[in-house]
Amino acid sequence: MTTEVRRAARPAPPRLYRDGKLSETDRPPPPERAITLIVDGEELATIACSPVRVIALALGFLRVEDIIQTAEDVALMEVCDEETVVKVRLAPTARAVPHDRKRILTSGCGRGVTFSLDVVPVEGGMSVSPEQLMAWMEELLESAHGYREHGGTHAAGLFGAAGLELLTEDIGRHNTVDRIAGEALCAVTSCGCSTTPGGSCSRQLRSLRRSPLRATRALSISLQPT
């Protein structure tokens, strides 16, 4: 059974405070929607997110939670009810869905949810200089158009030998790396180096096993491999 999320009243238009003055702005705030993920007939999670490419977000969430390894572990996906519900039927190759396991509220920006805090060793094989990482971070921030427009979204990027391969933005920082994993599965992209411009993304980063190097602009935590 899913829970419908409703707003009692529309929020007032955003206003901008700059140089000691408060003024109205015509820039709308970033949209947000609650997406319910139903796996094999049972609700697994409801995710507050940016309402774009919700299939990639759902795929990435399942990959990050180690329920699926490849897109072939999904037999069927469908988006219903004006993109507020994603239904997934898993293939026999997928892992058992942790419906009966406790949910863990993660640290970081807002409340993320995970079913495990196990730390997965990171595979090596890629060498990147600090200067290259900083250049990639600047490229990521420069390419994050949503953040530059209204400052209300987070961004994550996947970099390889040729530079930026994937860029995702979302109102939720945890969602951005889920989206990287999902878009990589959709595009069958070979993963290189992933970067995120702020905070700790321990749940997502520990599960992108093909990415040998992870970087964040802020301080990492003990359960976050970097």
How is 181-209 classified by DSSP, letter by letter? HHHHHHHTPPP-EEEESSS--HHHHTT-T
pLDDT score of 107: 60
pTM of the model: 0.75
Among residues 155, 198, 152, the alpha carbon closest in space to that of 25 is found at 152
pLDDT score of 28: 76
DSSP designation for 102 = P
DSSP designation for 13 = P
CA dist 26 and 16 (Å) reads 10
Which residue ranges form the domains of the chain, and what is each CATH number?
Answer: 33-106 (3.10.20.10), 130-216 (3.40.140.10)
Count of Cβ atoms closer than 10 Å to residue 121 Cβ: 8
Residue with tokens 């030998």: 161
CA dist 178 and 60 (Å) reads 4
CB 86 within 8 A of CB 62: no
Split the chain (226 residues) into runs of 10 and give each run's mean pLDDT: 57 78 82 92 90 93 90 91 90 85 62 63 71 90 85 86 88 90 75 49 43 63 50
